[in-house]
Amino acid sequence: MVTGMPPAPFVGRASALAEITGAWRAARPRVVLVTGEAGSGKSRLVAEVIDRIDAPVVLAGAARTLGAAPHDWLASVLGRHPLSSAVVDAAVLAQLTQRAPEGAPPRLAPAAMLRAAVDVVRALLGGHHGVLVVEDLHDLDPASLTLVGELAATALPALLLVTSRPPAAAAAARTLRKLGGAPAVLRVDLRPFDARETAELIEGYRGTPPPPDTVRAALHRTGGNPFWLTELLTAGALTQRSLPAHVTGLLVEPLTGEPPLVGTVARAAALLGDPVESDVLAHVCATDVDPALRRLLDLGMLVIAPEAAPAGPLRFRHPLLREAFAHTALPAERARVHARALKLALELGDAPARARHAAALGRAEESRAAAVEGVRTLVAAGRPAAAVDLAETVLSLPGVADAGLLRAAAEAAYVAGRFTTAADLAAEWLSHSVGRPTDGNGHSVGRPTDGNGHSVGRPTDGNGHSVGRPTEHGEGRSDEAADAHRLLAAARRALGDHDGQRRSLDRAAAVGRSPASVARQLAAEAELALDTEGAGAALPLAEAALAAAERAGIGIAPAAVTLGAALARRGVHERGAALLRAARQLAEHEHEHEHERERERDHDPVTRGRAIHELLAVTLPRLDETTARRRCDEAVAQLARYGLEFCVGRTVRLAAEVALRAGDPARAEALVWSRLPIETDAGERVALAALAGPAVPGELTAREVEVLGCLAAGMTNQQVASSLGISIRTVAVHVSNLLRKTGATSRTEAALWAVRHRVGPVA
């Protein structure tokens, strides 16, 4: 028996729905303009509006699917609502309905035809208060665009509800500007889903809250586009590497009818990776690619990388597009692009590209030779997630995994906040660091194993790691094992396994005997003490770690971060803050010299992230509300720019706490929910959930109670804003939250909920 999918949940557009239905009931404004990229949910929003307002007359029309023709919108309307009276001449009506014989001359001049079209719409309304729905304005023909503009300016008893993507045609752009500039227009821009909305959509289909790794991957893969999220969910392919055939077809369909070069360039860009430089594209395509790139930009498939705009590299609007175009490349085309790109990467010394393209060509040894440098290069560029993807690609190649690559991959995964992956890679790195050869899957070979692939015949600790002769391979190998244990400890802490963290740190202390390893161990113990016991316990450990690092000739930044934070928390603020600033500078610059790169093994991105967070934490109590908010925003932006996902959650938590102290619960809630659905640190998830407040309907913030009281009094958003002294945008956020918390689907239902729960109107 085949069962259908549940109806698609209506997610993320409650505030827009409330605004539009409110505009209908207030009989103003007369024009509602809904904009958004393809798949943003414009049609779904219109359907929800029509379903809720119960309009006496709804005249809905749209452009043709393939190729515009004159009067498309009105012909579409008349196809559903035949005109029952002779309002216009039969020959004119035949032209408006697109039933006139082909080649028949127009019976009226354009201006007269426009007036006739308006008369037809007026007659169809029949004097009732109706809704005129114009879908996909960007695809309409010039005659229809002129009619829409005229309807907006004509005193009809109707709400004109228009949807549009960003238009490419000049005529559509002019009409959109005209509508958007009208004095009585409500603008509704549908942006991609955020983390919270993505999680709600997934939960709506699956019935259970999705894990943060799933939400993060889905949000990244689709760019938060509701249509593509829904397509993957209904196909059961949200986290699958391969795309369903129908999804691939839908993604590449917009290039149907385009010049062949456009498709060639799109596929080459997809194979090259993300982002891609236009000169590299030109090299691998061996032609001028600018016309094709301009077309792909016009179609919205490529965008200029926002962090490097306006002259930066290009990337696909979302990775799903890149996957689809890469999938459609023929084998010969694929081999040609990768071969040319590999040759160029060798000439340019581009290690990430060399590793990626060699792997695509099946050159395992060549790929592995460049992989470690490639991974570290990507991490240094603020792209640790891309570094992990590259490492996993290379590690999947046949042959024995390289311990150096496993280390680099595990460190990158931790920085990217992919803690489960970091723990798995660290465990595999550990198995290599103690000298047991493994196959391509990380399983021991050359020694008997049990059914789980664990070595037997040698005593192991509780984690399955060999013990008894930890230093038999020399001090260097033992230090490497200790480093692996410490990284495993950090990942386990983030995953909420505090006992496992302690065990891993104890194993690191047991096997790492060199001065450098002892210094790193002291730094790790000091950081743990700061997190669990406080500044008093951490202070002597951090001082010892700093001194040990100086004696061992390794980087002092990790210990300096902990020492600075401990001092500041103990009241020695100026010295502590100065140490944190110095530690951050060291973490950002200590790899500038080659000999330092060889000596330093202290995960500089982690130190940088900790320094940014701790400096903010110790500084906030001394700042006014405005400055504190700005510093929080700057810190979160810096962490995002450097790809330091591992500590974004704790910094967002600080920002939310600042907002709560400032009496801005709406901002606090927005901050918490921007992070909670994708936060992979178990401890931070608990802390953020506590800040999120009550999740059951009826337990509202004080401000939400005030807004709900205003709704119960029948106030508009403008009236609520004036009454409470807040902005209209803030009111809209509160209304959206109220609809979600009360389970209401409209302002009217929320007002009824307020009456039932005795939430009275504001005086």
Indicate which CATH number applies to the domain containing 619. 1.25.40.10
Per-residue confidence (pLDDT) for residue 449, from 0 to 100: 39
* Tally of CB atoms within 10 A around 654: 19
Share of residues in the chain with pLDDT > 70 (%): 86
Q: Which residue has the higher pLDDT, 12 or 386?
A: 386
Residues 559 and 656 in one domain: yes
Residues 234 and 172 in one domain: no
Residues 606 and 624 in one domain: yes
Q: State the average pLDDT for the chain.
A: 86
472-503 pLDDT, tens digit each: 345 678 999 999 999 999 999 999 999 999 99
Domain boundary among the residues 120, 154, 189 is at 189
Domain membership of residue 742 as a residue range? 702-756
Residues 36 and 168 in one domain: yes
User: In the structure encoding, which two tokens stand for residue 714, read together?
Assistant: 């029948």
Per-residue confidence (pLDDT) for residue 700, from 0 to 100: 76
How many whole angstroms separate alpha carbon 201 and alpha carbon 215? 10
Per-residue confidence (pLDDT) for residue 586, from 0 to 100: 87
* Residue 314 domain flag: no
Residues 127 and 222 in one domain: no
Q: What is the mean pLDDT of residues 77-90?
A: 80
Question: 100-112 burial, b if ≥16 CB within 10 A, otherwise e?
Answer: beeeeeebbeeee
Residues 528 and 647 in one domain: yes
Domain boundary among the residues 208, 241, 274 is at 241
* Residue 204 domain flag: yes
How many whole angstroms separate alpha carbon 548 and alpha carbon 554? 9
How many whole angstroms separate alpha carbon 167 and alpha carbon 186? 19
How far does CA 761 lie from the centroid of its chain? 39
Report the C-alpha dihedral over residues 402, 408, 409, 414, rounded to 10 degrees: 150
Q: Is the pLDDT of residue 42 over 80?
A: yes
Q: What is the mean pLDDT of residues 712-735?
A: 81
Q: What angle do CA 135, 44, 256 make, to 5 degrees?
A: 60
Per-residue confidence (pLDDT) for residue 721, from 0 to 100: 82
Residues 18 and 134 in one domain: yes
CA atoms 187, 193, 196, 200: torsion sign: positive
Per-residue confidence (pLDDT) for residue 214, from 0 to 100: 95
Contacts of 533 (CB under 8 A, 6+ apart): none
CATH classification of the domain holding 707: 1.10.10.10
Per-residue confidence (pLDDT) for residue 460, from 0 to 100: 42
* Residue 673 domain flag: yes
How many whole angstroms separate alpha carbon 671 and alpha carbon 652? 7
Per-residue confidence (pLDDT) for residue 601, from 0 to 100: 43
Residues 179 and 201 in one domain: no
Per-residue confidence (pLDDT) for residue 448, from 0 to 100: 35
Nearest to 603 by CA among 412, 424, 420: 412
Q: Is the pLDDT of residue 693 over 80?
A: no
Per-residue confidence (pLDDT) for residue 596, from 0 to 100: 44
Residues 182 and 202 in one domain: no
* Residue 550 domain flag: yes
pLDDT class of 759 with cuts at 50, 70, 90: low
Rg over CA atoms, the chain:
31
pLDDT class of 758 with cuts at 50, 70, 90: low
How many whole angstroms separate alpha carbon 261 and alpha carbon 29? 46
Residues 505 and 596 in one domain: yes
110-157 pLDDT, tens digit each: 899 899 999 999 999 988 999 999 999 999 999 999 999 999 888 888
pLDDT class of 645 with cuts at 50, 70, 90: very high
Q: What is the mean pLDDT of residues 396-401?
A: 88
Per-residue confidence (pLDDT) for residue 458, from 0 to 100: 35
Half-sphere exposure of residue 137: CA atoms within 13 angstroms, side-chain side:
34
Paired sense of beta strands 314-316 and 302-304, if any:
antiparallel
560-577 pLDDT, tens digit each: 999 999 999 999 999 999
pLDDT class of 436 with cuts at 50, 70, 90: very low
Asked if 491 and 503 count as a contact pair (C-beta separation under 8 A), the reply is no
Count of domains observed in the chain = 4
Q: What is the mean pLDDT of residues 681-699?
A: 74
* Residue 544 domain flag: yes
pLDDT class of 466 with cuts at 50, 70, 90: very low
Nearest to 649 by CA among 12, 195, 11, 191: 195
Paired sense of beta strands 158-164 and 31-35, if any:
parallel
Q: What is the mean pLDDT of residues 549-558?
A: 94
Q: Is the pLDDT of residue 755 over 70?
A: no
Domain boundary among the residues 127, 160, 189 is at 189
Q: Is the pLDDT of residue 53 over 80?
A: yes
Which residue bears the tokens 């070595």? 455
Q: Is the pLDDT of residue 443 over 70?
A: no
How many whole angstroms separate alpha carbon 283 and alpha carbon 338? 12
Strand segments, DSSP code E, in 515-571 are: none
pLDDT class of 171 with cuts at 50, 70, 90: confident
Per-residue confidence (pLDDT) for residue 86, from 0 to 100: 66
Q: Is the pLDDT of residue 471 over 50?
A: no
Question: 588-601 burial, b if ≥16 CB within 10 A, otherwise e?
Answer: bebbeeeeeeebbb
Q: Is the pLDDT of residue 78 over 80?
A: yes
Per-residue confidence (pLDDT) for residue 435, from 0 to 100: 58
User: In the structure encoding, which two tokens stand for residue 710, read together?
Assistant: 């205003």
Residues 151 and 209 in one domain: no
How many whole angstroms separate alpha carbon 440 and alpha carbon 445? 10
222-269 pLDDT, tens digit each: 999 999 999 999 998 888 878 999 999 999 999 999 999 999 999 999
pLDDT class of 602 with cuts at 50, 70, 90: very low
Q: What is the mean pLDDT of residues 412-428?
A: 97
Lowest model confidence (mean pLDDT) among 100-104, 309-313, 324-328, 387-391: 309-313
* Residue 596 domain flag: yes
Q: Structure pTM?
A: 0.82
How many whole angstroms separate alpha carbon 165 and alpha carbon 173? 10
Lowest model confidence (mean pLDDT) among 162-171, 361-370, 421-430, 748-757: 748-757
Per-residue confidence (pLDDT) for residue 92, from 0 to 100: 83
Per-residue confidence (pLDDT) for residue 408, from 0 to 100: 97
Residues 174 and 199 in one domain: no
pLDDT class of 305 with cuts at 50, 70, 90: confident
* Residue 285 domain flag: no
* Residue 237 domain flag: yes
Per-residue confidence (pLDDT) for residue 566, from 0 to 100: 97
Per-residue confidence (pLDDT) for residue 252, from 0 to 100: 96
SS3 state at 304: strand
648-688 pLDDT, tens digit each: 999 999 999 999 999 998 899 999 999 999 999 999 998 99
Per-residue confidence (pLDDT) for residue 85, from 0 to 100: 59
